[in-house]
Structure 1
């Protein structure tokens, strides 16, 4: 026998069940199911009144040992370009370039190649000390030097250039204010390059073409080193004297004159020039260009030549009718005297022995 509560529940549930199975509810649930992202059914069973989620394991992505992730197109192109550039590189080129630089005795081809490579690497230094036309003239000088005296002669000239440029830049603002600075802030032109290297170039050509044979080969090398010792001593003494010289004297009369006067000398500048010639002669010895005795000859010859250059500057330069006797011409005379004096001194010593 049913209780009152059970009878009430049965009377309430029967109409509700008939309502859910009527034609009004079923179409509604069917339409609602089309908007859901998962299958949905309505059933009289409580367990089926839930969304039918798909089995996550059934659609798991599995990579086999043969499957590989695809490379992006940009990375694939880059990899192809790297492989192509690597495959196109010829390892023999580096070996040929190395053999060319190390050619002994040097050839014109090795001289041009080595000089071009060094000029390319040292272009910032070259631009600071030379004009564009000056660089072109220096390239010819460097090629000639390498062909005649190999890398050791080239390093000697490079040392001269670095020290000379550094001395020219010393107290540049002060020199410009006094009107005694070199033009273009010390950047030398082709005239200065040729004037500073004329004697050295002559010695290099005599050495290349074997003038006088083995008997005179040492003399041409000595004259080459002496010419640059002379020029470096002249440059350093002049630039340091203009920067630090307390008192400058005219070499012909010992009259006190302003800094920068042609033919003027100072104690500070003269001492600095002497040290510069000793330094470059020592480098020539270390580079096996000259012997110790020849290094001493280079220093002595450079100081005598610089004294002669000061006398020419004081007595003749900037005089009426001698306008052609400018600094470049005086430089040629100066370094020629240093080179010739060194060769003559060596010949006298050899004859006395």
Structure 2
């Protein structure tokens, strides 16, 4: 078996990926934070002049806000800046979050967002946010019709912590490996690629399933091509498959635009996601809900799916992009 060398990998990162403007500089929220800080300071001025107690309270308040702004503007992600950014974004984005997540699901998503920001900064966070928005939108498509057919996600598509963890487990592993620099700098881009590919895989799976249930004219079992009702485990439709492919392409493009991956790696993510989703359909059709496999629920299948997406992408990067097959 060929060994993995760091040299070809480093060559792959010498490519010039498309970069999101100023993501190497402080957080994209820095400008608005500075504006808020200036205005907060000026609005406190009349209060400061009223009494000594008000002066102390205002000074203390401004000190807290200044510290928070400094954390948010931190160029190099830290645990403190990750938490500060997530608190700000989750408060501002709460109207959207409650449409797609339960209260406990939001708590799990906050942990995911903090971990993602610590590992990959604002660019990685925006990638996950794009996944969430696209997946939630697809889930809501023709919700009433899917509910009438009995194939809709429970609770109007509001997902709980098990779903959040099942959809992000592989990405979280890649993020942790990146944070603690396992394998050194030579492996950092591999873990980043695995992170992006896991979410490309999951968004493709979610969109293909939801669009297939909403618009699929004919659904087939992945193993036998037998025609089955919509929503059957392991079933596929042309409409859903095409929608999932486009969703994966979109998210991989976002990852490329944000500088997380290179254009060739974006293509790898798309291909890996389709291979993983085919594998998930085969597993679902062959084993899910079968005797002896009651433990194989949707959350477990999700973990298998995104793990396949990450692993396949990493292997393709090493053995195809780097031309390791002699």
Bin the TM-score by the shorter chain: 0.7 to 0.9
Structure 1 residue 214 and structure 2 residue 185: aligned?
A: yes
CA distance in 2, matches of 1:314, 1:234: 15
- The answer for unaligned runs of 5 or more in structure 2 is 1-45
Cα offset, 1:95, TM superposition? 3.8
Shift of 1:80: 6.8
Q: 1:158 to 1:83 in 2, by over 3 A?
A: farther
Cα RMSD after superposing both structures: 1.8
1:240 corresponds to which of 194, 211, 221:
211
**1:85-131 per-position Cα deviation (integer Å, ceiling 9, x unaligned):** 98443445444323211223211111111111111111111111011
Aligned residue number for residue 37 of structure 1: none
CA deviation after TM superposition for structure 1 residue 226, in Å: 0.1
* Cα 1:81–1:229 shift into 2, 3 Å: same
Uncovered stretches (5+) of structure 1, i.e. residues with no partner: 1-78
Aligned residue pairs, count? 275
Q: Secondary structure at the match of 2:166?
A: helix
| Larger RCO, structures 1/2 (Cα 8 Å, 6+ apart) | 2
2:267 corresponds to 1:296: yes
Counterpart in 1 of 2:9? none
Check if 1:184 corresponds to 2:155.
yes
1:156-305 equivalences in 2 (<5 Å): 156-305=127-276
Residue 249 of structure 1: SS of its match in structure 2? Answer: strand
TM normalised by structure 1 equals 0.75
Q: Does 1:127 align with 2:65?
A: no
Cα deviation 1:249-291 (Å, max 9, x = unaligned): 1111111111000111111100000000000000001110000
Which of 289, 292, 305 is 1:318 aligned to? 289
The answer on 1:96 being equivalent to 2:67 is yes
- C-alpha contact (below 8 Å) 2:174/2:192 kept by paired residues: yes
Provide the rounded CA distance (Å) in 2 between the counterparts of 1:350 and 1:80: 63
2:47–2:58 contact (8 Å) kept in structure 1:
no
Calculate the TM-score normalised by the size of structure 2. 0.81
Work out which of the two has the higher radius of gyration on C-alpha atoms and give 1 or 2: 1
